[in-house]
Amino acid sequence: MATKILTDKAAAEKLTDAEKAMGEVPKSELTTGMQSMEKSTSIYSYAAPEKDKTKVKLKLSDEKVERIKAICALFDNNGGELISVLHLTQNELGYLPAEVQEVIAHSLKLSVAHVYGVVTFYSYFSMIPKGRFPISICTGTACYVRGAEKVLEEFKRQLNLKVGETTPDGKFSLNCLRCVGACGLAPVILVGEKVYARVAPDGVKAILDAYKEK
């Protein structure tokens, strides 16, 4: 089982996979963390929203910038649709690093600070790549009173992760969710799309073992 949290170098490895999956960034051009994107592509620059009063330069692939802008356009570049834009963008890119947030802020005419605030407020959004098997623990009321906290602690212990982190091999990430609408099955956890019902701490190892060879 993985024993360290995601380091910068490990993050670069995970980024490699994520970028390769998108077919955009050759692995040889990746370094660490966000630098990986900077080394790969041309510079996209724009004038920040009026209230920011600064010129911001981004370094993302043109293709990725266009895709993010297209997602914003799907919602008429309406700032009121920020959460929907973030949701769809994360579905496509896997995570929402600072550079991506800046493109969204510009397109929706919002401040970068506002977008950052929303991304960091909701546990669903992530600024680092999620694992191949994202584990989500429901900590809604029904699950909580039936022991979700102990289940969460056991996942944290076995994966040696904190909530919001990803294992160094990029396999598992750990997050909490509010009620997923299956309170009768509490405590509930999800691994990707798969739902596990009435999970107890002593069942955590078996769940993780099922993904070891995948």
Which residues sit at the interface with ligand FES, rule CB under 6 A? 138, 140-143, 179-183, 186, 188
Number of Cβ within 10 Å of residue 193's Cβ equals: 6
- Please identify, using beta-carbon distances, which residue of 5 and 183 lies nearer to ligand FES: 183
- Please identify, using beta-carbon distances, which residue of 11 and 151 lies nearer to ligand FES: 151
CA distance 151 to 58: 41
- Please identify, using beta-carbon distances, which residue of 58 and 143 lies nearer to ligand FES: 143
Quick one: DSSP state of residue 33? T
Interstrand relation of 172-177 and 133-138 (parallel, antiparallel or unpaired): parallel
- Please identify, using beta-carbon distances, which residue of 2 and 176 lies nearer to ligand FES: 176
Q: Is residue 56 helix, strand or coil?
A: strand
- Please identify, using beta-carbon distances, which residue of 78 and 141 lies nearer to ligand FES: 141
Q: Is 160 left (phi over 0), alpha (psi -120 to 50) or beta?
A: left
Q: At closest approach, how far in Å is the CB of 124 from ligand FES?
A: 15
Q: At closest approach, how far in Å is the CB of 120 from ligand FES?
A: 23
CA distances from 169 to 5, 9, 135 (A): 10, 11, 15
CA distance 210 to 43: 43
Q: At closest approach, how far in Å is the CB of 188 from ligand FES?
A: 5
Q: At closest approach, how far in Å is the CB of 55 from ligand FES?
A: 46
Q: At closest approach, how far in Å is the CB of 122 from ligand FES?
A: 17
Residue number of the CB closest to ligand FES reads 140
Q: Which residues contact 80 (CB under 8 A, 6 or more apart)?
A: none
